[in-house]
């Protein structure tokens, strides 16, 4: 083969490869640069976007951080937060999308598809929310829990792996000194546990009870992946368990799903989900 065709083929292959990488960077979030911040700086930025649901009185109260799914709070963390406050817990519900100026439609097309704001980046919000809670005088710093939905559950569980390794997630310059100190439990609603989930192959800190509520036949976050991940963490020594919400779809407690999504809001099951979280908080924090 003469040099001319060889060079042409090499150029064409290079063009295709570079085009493919550009597509991955634009549409799938591959190789996206993540800005690293100090925990205190991220906490300052996140605080104005954090709703707080508190019982009356000065406290100190056991606390829970509520981390929404990929589409934003959508009324979910508000409903759970109010129930938590009524039961004597102070709840902090940061809005990771509002912090970054991401609206609902953009979240559905980019965050929910994994094109941006994956768990590695968002894990910094978990540590920042803990910092926000720790400086609130109403919080009992020895009794804290974390709860997350779907993407938020993925984020929390992956944040635990970074804490166990005493390493900061990609969005933080360093871990806060307190790390996950005072965190007694995690409750994960229908978490993503696919190949991007760090919890599939990395351990969690000792002494933190992890429970998950899964949806049989979940069409968004494969429940079989979650069982496999939870079994692996249990085999590694983690204190973990899982339960099932029969008759539910992914996002059963989120109202106003997009038409054609196949997801259904069920008010009765949502109420049952709230009761399950409250029962978990009472077992682990009281």
Tokens 């001319």: give the residue: 4
Mean pLDDT of the chain: 90
**HEC profile of the chain:** CCHHHHHHHHHHHHHHHHHHHHHHHHHHCCCCCCCCECHHHHHHHHHHHEEEECCCCCCCEEEEEEECECCECCCHHHHHHHHHHHCCCEEEEECHHHHCCCCHHHHHHHHCCCCCCCHHHHHHHHHHHHHHHHCCCCEEEEEEEEEEECHHHHHHHHHHHHHHCCCCCCCECCCCCCCCCCEEEEEEECCCCCCCCHHHCCCCCCCCEEEEEECCCCCCCCHHHHHHHHHHHHHCCCCEEEEECCCCCCCCCCCCCCCCCCCCCCHHHHHHHHHHHHHHHHHHHC
| For the chain, domain boundaries | 1-31, 39-285
Q: Would you say residue 3 has pLDDT above 70? A: no
> In the prediction, which pLDDT does 49 show?
98
pTM of the entire predicted model: 0.89
* Mean pLDDT across 87-106: 96
What is the fold of 39-285? Rossmann fold (3.40.50)
Q: What's the average model confidence in pLDDT over 93-101?
A: 97
Q: Which residue has the higher pLDDT, 114 or 20?
A: 114
Most trustworthy range by pLDDT among 32-46, 102-116, 216-230: 216-230
pLDDT in tens, 240-280: 999 999 999 999 999 988 888 899 999 999 999 999 999 99
pLDDT score, position 4: 55
What's residue 72's pLDDT? 92
Q: What is the pLDDT of residue 34?
A: 85
Query: 99-139: per-residue pLDDT in tens?
Result: 999 999 999 999 999 899 999 999 999 999 999 999 999 99
Across 206-216, average pLDDT: 97
* Mean local confidence (pLDDT), 81-86: 98
């Amino acid at each position: 083969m003469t040099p001319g065709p060889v060079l042409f083929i090499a150029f064409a292959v290079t063009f295709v490869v570079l085009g493919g990488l550009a597509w991955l960077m634009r549409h799938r979030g591959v190789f996206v640069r993540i800005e690293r911040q100090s925990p205190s700086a991220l906490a300052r930025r996140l605080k104005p976007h954090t709703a707080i649901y508190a019982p009356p009185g000065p406290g100190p109260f056991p606390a829970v951080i509520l981390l929404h799914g990929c589409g934003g709070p959508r009324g979910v963390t508000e409903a759970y937060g109010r129930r938590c406050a009524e039961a004597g817990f102070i709840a902090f519900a940061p809005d990771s999308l509002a912090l970054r100026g991401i609206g609902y439609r953009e979240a559905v097309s980019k965050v929910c598809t994994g094109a941006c704001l994956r768990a590695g980046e968002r894990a910094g919000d978990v540590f920042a929310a803990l910092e926000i809670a720790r400086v609130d005088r109403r919080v009992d710093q020895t009794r804290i829990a974390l709860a997350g939905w779907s993407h938020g559950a993925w984020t929390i569980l992956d944040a635990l792996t970074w804490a166990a390794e005493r390493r900061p997630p990609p969005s933080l310059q360093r871990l806060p000194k307190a790390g996950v100190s005072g965190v007694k439990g995690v409750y994960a609603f229908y978490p993503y546990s696919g190949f991007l989930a760090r919890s599939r192959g990395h351990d969690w800190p000792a002494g933190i009870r992890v429970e998950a509520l899964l949806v049989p036949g979940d069409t968004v976050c494969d429940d079989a992946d979650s069982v496999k991940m939870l079994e692996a963490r249990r085999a590694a020594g983690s204190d973990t368990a899982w339960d099932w919400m029969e008759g539910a779809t992914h996002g059963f407690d989120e109202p106003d799903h997009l038409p054609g999504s196949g997801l259904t809001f069920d008010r009765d099951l949502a109420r049952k989900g709230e009761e399950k979280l409250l029962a978990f908080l009472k077992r682990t924090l009281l």
